[in-house]
Homo-oligomer: A and B are copies of this chain.
Amino acid sequence: MTSPSIPDALRQALQQQFQHRFSQGDSTRQQHGRDESVHDPMLPGGVVFAENVEEIRLTVAMCAEHGVPVIPYGVGSSVEGHVLAPGGGISLDLSGMNQIIVIHAEDGDATVQAGVTRKQLNDALKGTGLFFPIDPGADATLGGMAATRASGTNAVRYGTMRDNVMATTTVLADGRIMKTGGRARKSSAGYDLTRLLVGSEGTLGIMAELTVKLYPIPEAISAAVCSFPDVDSAVQTVIQTIQLGVPVARIELLDALSLKAINLFSKTTLAEAPTLFFEFHGSPASVEEQAQTVQGIADDLGGTHFEWAARPEDRSRLWQARHDAYFACLQLKPGCRCFPTDVCVPISRLAECIAATNEDIAQVSIPIALFGHVGDGNFHLVVLVDTGNEQDMAEAAWISQRVVERAIAMEGTCTGEHGIGLGKRKYLCLEHGEIAVEVMRSIKQALDPHNILNPGKVLPPAR
């Protein structure tokens, strides 16, 4: 796709300011014009590699002067087209903003630049007795995770980025630098701008620095795998566990196809059946109690092969396999891409939602793996397509629309953790209603009147 060119004056100004950290090279633009989704690439006119808040401010101010879009970019692991440049403009790569500014171990918080990744933060926390729990599949940047309101396997216990971003330093559309939130654990002081930015996908401001919550590493951790005769038994186990209030840290469902993919990819020998992965955090006694309760529920529902991974290295192998599920599934159909979908429903509707989705899956020819963070009512479809094959794409679109509409009909959401990006704009009004979307538009208009911050994302085109 050809993108609108960058005005000469802006190009010159960016070159002068950023030297080799401004690039218009084809490969750099191609790398920044796509993400993990099936969306056709849409290339930016150039890429700026920023290293601090002031450089973000300068880039935004220069682009604003010329009415040129700015698209923040972390590591490109988004899956709904968030980093694509449908109107060209400048991709603002924040991966060089990888400084951990301060760790307040005594308060359980850390302030980092937006390009720090979740694994980098956890590495830096070694020796503090603390960890940062939010873990989307990829080793995403914290800025990107905040922008998409990401979560992952630990959310059922530790919440999502919504709950764990305490404060931000954000560059506004006109180049002003705004501080939001603070380090107090709670506050009633004014509008919650931090929560407004989290999940706004770079359309209201560019988060340059973040303060996030940290948690004590539990005294005891125990993980387990259990397979089930069918998906419904596994889901019923989840529902009963959550309804009983067991403070489980992770409870993940993977279907038989996911397990097959994992075994192939990770050289594991797990039963290729619907499976739950569990993890329990707490004191030794409380972990044992939680585990017994959940094992009892699973036993009653026909769970078998309840295998414990108490040693850290076994746990790591287990969760690495879980985190690799997405990439493992991609290997099931060589050369394919993934048409991803994630939805989230109230837990009481989860079994029904997954059962109906599996009926849909049975009707199409493309491979579709189902797994997810079912403790929250959240699951993903990894829909494998040859993007050049019209039938593949039509089937994928049909499945995606079916599962989204079903989730919304069940008072759920069209995306539990991936975000709207380009791919799910068409469902925003269905989920929230026209009035809420009009209000979102009026907020966008108030904060970015010239529509230069990641234009075309989140909000569907006005009618």
Contacts and interface: CB of A to CB of B under 8 A. Distances in A.
A439 B188 contact: no
Interface residues of A, number: 90
Contact of A195 (B162, B190, B216, B418): B162
A30 B193 CA distance: 35
Copy count, this protein chain: 2
A462 to B, nearest CB: 15
Interface in A51-72: none
Given A216-B245, A282-B286, A283-B289, A186 B348 contact: no
Interface in A66-93: none
Nearest to A376: B185
Interface of A: 104, 106-109, 148-151, 155-156, 159-160, 162-163, 172, 176-180, 182-193, 195-196, 198-200, 204, 215-216, 218, 239, 242-245, 282-283, 285-286, 289, 344-348, 376-378, 407, 411-420, 424, 427-428, 431-433, 435-440, 442-443, 445-447, 458-459
Contact of A439 (B159, B431, B438, B447): B447
Nearest to A428: B190
A442 B435 contact: no
- For the complex of A and B, the 8 pairs showing the least CB-CB separation, nearest first, are A216-B245, A195-B195, A187-B413, A446-B446, A106-B348, A184-B344, A107-B346, A183-B411
Contacts of A283: 286, 289
Given A195-B196, A435-B172, A440-B193, A188 B416 contact: yes
A195 B186 CA distance: 13
